[in-house]
A and B are shown apart, each in its own frame.
Chain A
Amino acid sequence: MTDYRELSEPALVAACVEGDANAFGEAVRRYRDRLWAVALRTLGDPEEAADAVQDGLLNAYRAVLAGRFRGDAALTTWLHRVVVNACLDRVRRRQARPVTADGADEVVDALADSRADADVASDAANRLDVAAALATLPLEQRVAVVLVDMQGLPVREVAVVLGVAEGTIKSRCARGRARLLPLLSPGRREGTSGQLRASHSARPSASGAQGPGPAKGGRGCET
């Protein structure tokens, strides 16, 4: 009997192409934490993220059974794509509903509930920083930053996931980092926490709203 846990990535892909449901189950086992991280970071809401993971994996499962997974892309690339698509579908549907500071609190609440370690409080506070800062990014930049900078996927792979050119991914990442810098840069974090919450509460996150511009001036230079 096949031990799916022992299958190499190419063998797992081949089995999924054949419509092997157990191979798909092993793929889910291998990548589900990563997919959850993508969804949570993109959507900022655990409930929405859980729905997106479910929707994406349900679609992927049906594709495997229907023979529509051809194995052209790596499993991880494909699964990221279906979950990212599910996330974007959800964002589009909730675009009229602004994310508020209350919503950011909910992220912290849910994370705190799900993680019972002793560092929950400080960890959740840092997560609020990251989650709230990510929410200020236009959606395309947020997804690129999540996949490249946070998930560590190669730019080439992210370009396949999102169906755009590699240069576009690099540009979105650069723009996103420039926006995140004043919000998350360690040297500025302490003084911007309250400001971050305030600006976050007034800004719709899913509609491509522009975050605060990068800090300019105030940096002494000898030259």
Chain B
Amino acid sequence: MRDVNDPATGHLSADTAADLDEGLLDPDVAAVARAHVSACASCAALLAQLAELRRDLRADDPGPLPPAVADRLDAALSDSARDAGDAPSPAASPRAPGSVRRSGVRHSGVSRSWVSRSWVRPALSLAAGVVALAALVGGLRTLSDHGVGASSGSSAASGGSVGSSANPGAAAAGGSPAGRGSSASGGIASRGPLTAAAPSAGPAAPLASSGTAYATSEAALLRQARALLRREDLAVAARAGGSRFHDPTCVQALPGPAPVLVDQGRYAGRAALLVVQRTHGGLIATVLPRPCTAEDAARPLQVATGALPS
């Protein structure tokens, strides 16, 4: 009879127990394993723990999509539509629940109307954000009709298998130039280190994600800002389509020039954003809470000013 036990312990290994639990063992091997389990309290307990683990995993509840996330999503999607040059009218804005917009866009002979009555915030705030995309996609279709080739498609959306995307950045970003309009039109999008980036972080500019624990002292914060500006890897990640998911009104509300860097990290143990602006001969490093609103921009966690990196 085949020995299914771990030679080191004389018992079923966790892998073997998990295979037995999942029904992956060959019938003869499974029979041997079951015979052992029936006579071994410890291995029986191991199988019971596996069953309990499955129950615990099933019971784990991360909760619904948080309203704050849905709101930021609305803002980001609405902003994307605006950047694409076909912003939804105020009546069609997701911020005007219950409004109705009809665009009469046609595709394949099917006439559609955009009726937002079923996309009511806050319960449907995410869906409402997608309604705003109707304007964006309508705009893309118009561009495509003029030979711009707006929709490159996505393996993810069109049924490609997981991991099949040859260009993950493009796929995740929507795969169209207009879909990335905000990052293409500004932000940390130029080549080279961040100090050489175009000095404009648009409303939905890519975020760097260094994970830095921002210093509480002004001098140290400035040193961190300068170091982050020199990091090529952050610039590359941002160009590849880093997170764009912050409230644009937050960064826009900061006084001074457009940021050259918006980075995600932590401050005093909490999630935070570092916004770096370049002035004539100097830098302004501002730490804001994350999530961040326009009101937060008026009450930064830390601000440091200093000279440009040499």
A interface residue numbers (CB < 8 A to B): 1, 3-5, 18-22, 24-26, 28-29, 32-33, 36-37, 40-41, 46-48, 50-63, 65-70, 72-73, 78, 81-82, 84-86, 88-90, 92-94, 96-97, 100, 102-103, 105-106, 109-111, 113-115, 126-127, 130, 143, 145, 149-150, 152, 161-163, 167, 170-171, 173-175, 177-182, 184-187, 213-217, 219-223
Contact = CB atoms under 8 A, between A and B. Distances in A.
Contacts of A110: 271
A84 B161 CA distance: 10
Given A55-B174, A81-B156, A163-B162, 20 more contacts: A36-B65, A46-B66, A51-B243, A53-B73, A57-B130, A62-B151, A62-B176, A63-B158, A66-B107, A66-B151, A100-B211, A102-B213, A150-B57, A179-B14, A184-B53, A186-B52, A217-B8, A217-B9, A219-B43, A222-B40
Range of interface residues on chain B? 35 or more
Interface stretch (B20-28, B188-196, B250-258, B280-288): B20-28
Among B53, B157, B211, B233: residue with most chain A CB under 10 A: B157
B83 to A, nearest CB: 14
Contacts of A24: 130
Interface of B is mostly: mixed
Nearest to A170: B22
Contacts of B172: 51-52, 55, 86, 89-90, 93
Contact of A54 (B22, B77, B162): B77
B127 A32 contact: yes
Given A85-B162, A219-B11, A178 B18 contact: yes
A221 B264 contact: no
A54 B79 CA distance: 13
B73 A50 contact: yes
Interface stretch (B84-92, B118-126, B214-222, B294-302): B118-126
B80 to A, nearest CB: 8
Interface in B1-29: 6, 8-11, 13-15, 17-19, 21-24
Contacts of A150: 57-58, 60
A114 B108 CA distance: 42
Interface in B62-101: 62-69, 72-73, 76-77
